[in-house]
A and B are shown apart, each in its own frame.
Chain A
Amino acid sequence: MNELKTTTVEVRLPTRMGYEKVAMSTAASVAKLMGFPEDRIEDLKTAVAEACINAIEHGNRLNEKLSVGVVLRAEPDALEVKVIDDGTGIGKKPAKPDIDRKLHGEEDPRGMGMFLIQALVDEAEWVTGLDGKSSYVRLLIKLDKDAE
């Protein structure tokens, strides 16, 4: 898969916890074919898993009648992943988790998904669809992070 052309892979997940691992595996396979190093593939797997968990839990509110779309677009120099749900998007991004506040019971121990996503990929943006009935998170991981 070294030719310089764009390839798209799509996966549709049930709204059920645990199925984020299907998206993780698919993203890892595509990234491996593109030549990403192992450590970046691990970063991508965690970011994709967290994006899918958010879509299942918060976007689709665990409604099993809905599904989560995952679109992986392999470009010559980067892999873009969109995770699409039927939610209305995020109101505002949560603050960076503070372990001291968590340990002292001043902050919920949960709520680290978005922080991990942002920290592990090169670009992350949360987009609300124009109809207000769907939203997606777009992740971008660059093949040669240091080449800029």
Chain B
Amino acid sequence: MQSETKSRVDQLTAPSGHPVAALRFEGDIASTSKDAVLGAYQSLPKETTRLILLDFTGVDYINSSGIALVIQLLIEAANASQKVYCFGLSTHFTKVFTMVGITKYAGIFPTQAEALAAL
């Protein structure tokens, strides 16, 4: 019933010259999305990945279990001294991420270009 979560990784370069790993999600983010969210994150090389962008452009349903996966990703990223940013969230999920406090640990930008420009 839930639409399967797909994810892929793109390697980008910010205008500042910093390398950035973009994790692009598609589908629902729910309890069944562990591999797509944490698995994709854990596939990034820890030694060389310092900046991570989470792309939610293709996501239209995130429930509390999905938010918990994002928080687990933030915990692992914080432990690895990585910085995480999000973009492509709908107005509603931007509000929800703000309400639960995610914005304290992950900057939220409307678009990829705005996120990259800030890095």
Give chain A's interface residues, CB within 8 Å of chain B.
16-22, 39, 42-43, 46, 49-50, 53, 97-100, 102-103, 105, 108-113, 115-116, 119
Q: For the complex of A and B, list the 4 residue pairs with the smallest distance between their C-beta atoms, beginning with the closest.
A: A99-B101, A18-B1, A42-B92, A18-B2
Contact B1 A99 (CB under 8 A): no
Q: Please, what's the 1-or-0 string for B29-46, where 1 marks a CB less than 8 Å from any CB in chain A?
A: 011100000000000000
Q: Of the candidates A18, A103, A110, which one forms a contact with B78 in the assembled complex, judged by CB atoms under 8 Å apart?
A: A103
Q: Is the CB of B101 within 8 A of A97?
A: yes
- CB of B108 closer than 8 Å to a CB of A: no
The total number of A-B Cβ pairs within 8 Å is 75
Knowing A21-B61, A102-B71, A112-B68, the reply to whether A43 touches B92 (Cβ < 8 A) is: yes
Closest to B71 in A: A109
A sample of 10 cross-chain residue pairs with beta-carbon separation below 8 angstroms, ordered by A number, consists of: A17-B32, A18-B32, A19-B1, A21-B1, A39-B92, A49-B63, A99-B100, A103-B74, A103-B105, A109-B69
List chain B positions with a Cβ less than 8 A from chain A. 1-2, 30-32, 61, 63-65, 67-69, 71-72, 74-75, 78, 90-92, 96, 99-102, 104-105
Q: Report B-chain residues with C-beta under 8 Å of the C-beta of A99.
A: 71, 100-102, 104-105
Q: Is the interface of B mostly helix, strand, loop or mixed?
A: helix
**Among candidates B61, B68, B101, residue contacting A110 with C-beta atoms closer than 8 Å:** B68
Residues from chain A with a CB closer than 8 A to the CB of B101 are 97-100
CB distance from B22 to the nearest CB of A (A): 22
CA–CA, A102 and B63, complex, Å: 17
